Amino acid sequence: MSQVTRERLFGFRHAFDDRVTVVLTLVALVLFLLAPVLILVVTRAAKSTSDKKKELWDRYRSWIWLALFILIPILAGAFWTILAVATLSSLSYREYARITGLFRERTISLIVVIGILFITFAALDNWYRLFVALFPLTVALIATGGLIPDQPKGYIQRVGLGVLGFALFGSALGHLGYMANDWNYRPILLLIIFAVELNDIFAYICGHLFGHRKFVPNTSPNKTVGGALGAIALTTPLFAIGAHFVWFGTALDTPVRLVGLGIIVSVVGQFGDLMLSSIKRDLGLKDTAKLIPGHGGILDRFDSLILVAPAVFHYVNYFVGFAVGQPQQIFSG
Amino acid sequence: MEPWNLQPARDTGLTPSERFRSVRRESGLLENIAHQVCFLLLRSYFAIAHRLTIMGREKLPAHGPFVLAANHCSHLDALALGTALTRRYRERAFPIAAGDVFFQSTVTSTFSAIMLNALPMWRKNCGPHALADLRQKLQEERAIFIIFPEGGRSRNGSMMPFKHGLGMLVAETNVPVVPCGLVGTFEALPPHQNFPRPVSVKLVIGDALEFASIANDRTGWSQIAATVESCVRDLVAQSRTA
What ranges do the domains of chain B cover?
A: 34-241
Average pLDDT over residues B193-222: 93
Mean pLDDT of A184-198: 96
Beta-carbon contacts of A100 under 8 Å, excluding residues fewer than 6 positions away, are A161, A165, A279, A283, B6, B8
Q: pLDDT-based confidence at A333, cuts 50/70/90?
A: confident
B87 interface with A at CB cutoff 8 Å: no
Percent of chain B clearing pLDDT 70 (strictly above): 98
B1 touches chain A (CB under 8 A): yes
The pLDDT value given to residue A56: 87
Question: pLDDT-derived band of residue B6, with 50, 70 and 90 as boundaries?
Answer: confident
Distance from the A322 Cα atom to the nearest Cα atom in chain B, whole angstroms: 34
pLDDT band at A75 (very low <50, low <70, confident <90, very high): very high
Please provide the DSSP assignment of chain B as one string. -PPP-----TTTT--HHHHHH-TT----HHHHHHHHHHHHHHHHHHHHHS--EEE-GGGS-SSSSEEEEE--SSTHHHHHHHHHS-HHHHTTEEEEEEHHHHSSSHHHHHHIIIII--EEE-SSS--HHHHHHHHHHHHHTT-EEEE-TTSS--SSSSPPPPPTHHHHHHTTS---EEEEEEESHHHHS-TT-SS------EEEE---B--TTS-SSHHHHHHHHHHHHHHHHHHHHHHHH-
CA distance A153 to chain B (A): 6
Asked if the C-beta of A99 comes within 8 angstroms of chain B's C-beta atoms, the answer is yes
Can you tell me the distance from the alpha carbon of B174 to that of B99, in angstroms, rounded to the nearest whole number? 27
pLDDT at A96: 97
Asked whether the predicted pLDDT for residue A143 surpasses 90, the reply is yes
> Of A103, A157, A287, which is closest to B4 when you measure between CB atoms?
A157
Confidence of residue A42 (pLDDT cuts 50, 70, 90): confident
pLDDT at B128 over 80: no
pLDDT in tens, B75-117: 999 999 999 898 888 889 999 998 888 898 889 999 999 989 9
pLDDT band of residue B125 (cuts 50, 70, 90) is low
pLDDT at residue number B43: 93
Per CB-CB distance under 8 Å, the chain A contacts of B15 are: 290-291
Q: Tell me which architecture the domain covering B34-241 has in CATH.
A: 3-Layer(aba) Sandwich (3.40)
pLDDT band for position A320 (cuts 50, 70, 90): very high
State pLDDT tens for residues B149-176: 998 899 998 999 999 889 999 999 999 9
Pairwise CB contact (< 8 Å): A289 & B28: no
Which chain B residues contact residue A290 at CB under 8 A?
13-15, 18
Tens digits of residue pLDDT in A263-276: 999 999 999 999 99
Nearest-Cα distance to chain A for B16, in Å, is 7
Encode B147-181 in three state secondary structure.
ECCCCCCCCCCCCCCCCCHHHHHHCCCCCCEEEEE
How far is the C-alpha of A252 from the C-alpha of A242, rounded, in Å? 12
Nearest to A173 by CA among A81, A68, A76, A267: A81
- Testing the interface with A: which of B6, B11, B17, B140 to mutate, by most A Cβ within 10 A? B6
Q: Which residues in chain A are contacts of B6 at CB distance < 8 A?
A: 100-101, 282-283
Per-residue pLDDT at A210 = 86
A237 pLDDT tier (thresholds 50, 70, 90): very high
CA dihedral for A255, A305, A140, A159, sign (positive or negative): negative
How would residue B74 be classed by pLDDT, with cut points 50, 70 and 90? very high
- Is the interface score ipTM higher than 0.90? no
Q: What is the pLDDT of residue B126?
A: 65
Residues of B in contact with A110 (CB under 8 A): 29
What local confidence, expressed as pLDDT, does residue B219 receive?
93
Query: A99 and B4: CB-CB below 8 Å?
Result: no
What's the average model confidence in pLDDT over A288-313? 93
In angstroms, what separates the C-alpha of B13 from chain A's closest C-alpha? 5
Q: Is the pLDDT of residue B127 over 70?
A: no
A189 pLDDT band, cuts 50/70/90, is very high
**Mean pLDDT, rounded, for A74-91:** 97
Residue B175 Cα, gap to closest chain A Cα (Å): 23
**Mean pLDDT (chain A, rounded):** 94
Residue A211 amino acid letter: G
Distance CA A11, CA A249 (A): 25
Alpha carbon of A4 to those of A1, A101, A177, A178: distances in Å? 8, 45, 18, 17
